[in-house]
Structures are given as C-alpha cells and as structure tokens.
Structure 1
Amino acid sequence: MKKIILLIALSCVFTTKAQYGYGNNNGRQRQNQLPQTEQKAPEPNFDVERYIGIVNYDIEKAAKKSSIKLSSNVGKEFSKVLTKYNKDIKDITRINTFVLKSTKDLVENYQKKVIKTGDNSSQKKVMTKMGENLKPISEILKKEDLILDKKMKVLLSEKQYKKWIKYNRKIYKIFPKEEA
C-alpha cells in the first residue's frame, strides 16, 4: 500500500513538472524574450506611371513573348515601331514630370495621413484632384496607344497579335478601344 501511494505521488510530481516546467527556467526564459513590437504599416508607394499606363517596352522580351524573331523583316519593323513608341512615351513622361511627381506626392501624403489618423473623409477630393491632374496625360497616352495598337494589328499575324495582347495584360497595359 505504501508503494502504491509513493508511486502515485511521484507520478503526480513528474506530470506537473512536465506540464508546467517547474525547475527548468522556463519562467526566466519568458522574461528574457524580446517583447514583440507592433508591425509598422508599409510606406505608401503610389506608382503613377502604372496607374495611367505608361510602359517602356523591353523590345527583346516583347518580341520573345509575342513569338517574333527580331532578325526577320517583321521583327525589324516590330523593333522600329516599339523604339519609336518608347521614345514618344519618354518624351511625354519627361514633359509631364512635374505633374506626375506632384500627383504622386499628393496621393502618398493622403495615404500617410489616413494611416496616421484613420480619417479618409477627403478621399473623394484627392481622387478628383488626381483625375484632373492626370486627364491630359491620359488622353495623350490613349492616342499613342491607339496608334501603336493599329500598327501592331497590321504588322503581326493573328496568333502573334493575341500573344502581344496577352503580354501587355501581364505588364498591366490595356489598349483602349477605338471610339466609333
């Protein structure tokens, strides 16, 4: 009988030690752990160029994705068309650098304010201002995109054109439809 009581008492001691970790410094280890810090929200990074559809094509990659050999006649014409398009887009971007930068700053400052205060009541005002700033640039880009799309439709086969459109969707470039 004494042995059974001793066995029960020892098993209780061992199970409590195993469950609660008495004697193996778990209490101290918890105190020595670094306190968890709150994660900061990421800094706002508004990509204006992507928002309005400014794309500078990597000609080799675009040709590869569209199954066009640059050494062929079609490839050479494809390269010329994209080089001219890239040059035109760079000129548009350079001319409108101030508008793009100010719009980017406007949106990022608004986002920082919302993160800090949680008040997004001025969102409509900021979106309207952003639309007013970017509308002229957007119209110019739409014309350039229509010209590029027409040239590509004429230049490429139907299969290559489908691949060209698919590649453009992956880089977030959508060509506007012609207005009748």
Structure 2
Amino acid sequence: MKKIFLVLILGYAYTAQAQYGYGDSQSRRQNQMMQTEQKAPEPNFDVERYIGIVNYDIEKAAKKSSIKLTSKEGQEFSRVLTKYNKDIKDITRINTFVLRSTKDMVENYQKTVMKTGDNSSQKKVMTTMSENLKPISEILKKEDRELDKTIKALLSEKQYKKWIKYNRKIYKVFPKEEE
C-alpha cells in the first residue's frame, strides 16, 4: 500500500512539473518578452492602392477569369489588358510628382501624429490629398469604364463574374455608369 501511495505521489509530481514548466524559467521568459518595447511600424501610405491604380498580370487575370490565352477570345483579352496597363503606366509616370508629394505629405502627417498624438490637422490633410488626387482619379475612372465596357462585351456572363471577383480581391472597383 505504501508503494502504491509513493508511485501515485511521484506520478502527480511528475505530471505537475510537465504541465507547469521547469520552475521559474518560463515566467522569467514571459517577463522578458513583456519588457522589450516594440517599436511602432513606419507609416507606409500606398497612394496607388488608395486611388485604384492596378497593373494586371495578364496570365493570372486570364486564369482567374477562366480564359484560355491561346483562344481568339484570350488573345483579345490579352490585347485589351496590355493596352490598359500601358495607359495606366503612362498616367502614373506623368503624375509621379503629385503621387510622390501626396504620399510624403500623408506619411509626414502620420509620423507627427505618432510622436505628438495630436491629429487636429487631419481634415486639412485629407482635403489637400483629395484635391491633389481628384484629377488623376477622374482620368482613372474614365479608363476603368472603358476597360469594364470592353471586358463585359468580350467575356461571357460567368467569366465576367469571375473577372469582377478577381478585381475585388486586388482591391479594384469599377465605377458605375453614370446615367
């Protein structure tokens, strides 16, 4: 009976040690992790994503839309996206200064807010940003409407739905036709 008691006590002690770690070392490790101060990430404002600039990977877009690039429809799809990508690159290149200055302005604002905690000038920054980017966004809306109209005429209804689903995943939204 004494031997059974001894085995049970040793079994419980062994289980308790296995479950709760080796004494104090685990709690020390947790304290060290809590004491290390984490630095906030640097602001990184993606202007292109904000206004909807997307350069398509033609093969991936065709695959996601269930289009075979070797078919006549696929070749036309490829031609349309190639033209669109070229036009978007030209628009981006022409407006590089505006895009870069807007990005710098927003990032500087975010840095000052992180340092001081004062975000009273947020409305001013947002209005300035929208004024700077409005002409570019208007041109992009026009290009997007043309692309959407062409793609809609080119693809079947099922393929067009997949195309729209793919665009939502890459954060691209086509503007609605204005009546």
Q: TM-score range by the shorter chain?
A: 0.7 to 0.9
Asked whether 1:119 is paired with 2:136, we answer no
Question: Following TM superposition, where does structure 1 have runs of at least 4 consecutive aligned residues deviating by more than 3 angstroms?
Answer: none
In structure 1, stretches of 5+ residues that fail to align are 1-24
Partner secondary structure for residue 94 of structure 1: helix
Residue in 2 that maps onto 1:107: 106
Residue in 2 that maps onto 1:154: 153
Residue in 2 that maps onto 1:80: 79
- The AA in structure 2 aligned to 1:143 is K
Q: Distance in 1 between matches of 2:113 and 2:41?
A: 13
TM-score (norm 1): 0.82
Identity %: 84
Residue in 1 that maps onto 2:170: 171
Q: Cα distance 1:26–1:80, how it changes in 2: closer, same or farther (>3 A)?
A: closer
Q: Distance in 2 between matches of 1:117 and 1:39?
A: 18
Asked whether 1:134 is paired with 2:133, we answer yes
Residue in 2 that maps onto 1:56: 55
- The AA in structure 2 aligned to 1:167 is Y
- The AA in structure 2 aligned to 1:47 is D
Residue 37 of structure 1 deviates from its aligned partner by: 2.4
Equivalenced residues, count? 156
Q: Distance in 2 between matches of 1:96 and 1:178?
A: 25
- The AA in structure 1 aligned to 2:148 is D
Q: Distance in 2 between matches of 1:41 and 1:117?
A: 14
Q: Distance in 1 between matches of 2:105 and 2:171?
A: 23
Partner secondary structure for residue 93 of structure 2: helix
Q: Distance in 2 between matches of 1:154 and 1:34?
A: 61
Residue in 2 that maps onto 1:17: none
- Tell me how large the CA RMSD over aligned residues is: 2.1
Q: Distance in 2 between matches of 1:132 and 1:154?
A: 34
Residue 38 of structure 1 deviates from its aligned partner by: 1.5
Return the index of the structure with the highest Cα Rg.
Answer: 1
Q: Distance in 1 between matches of 2:137 and 2:163?
A: 22
TM-score (norm 2): 0.82
Residue 26 of structure 1 deviates from its aligned partner by: 5.8
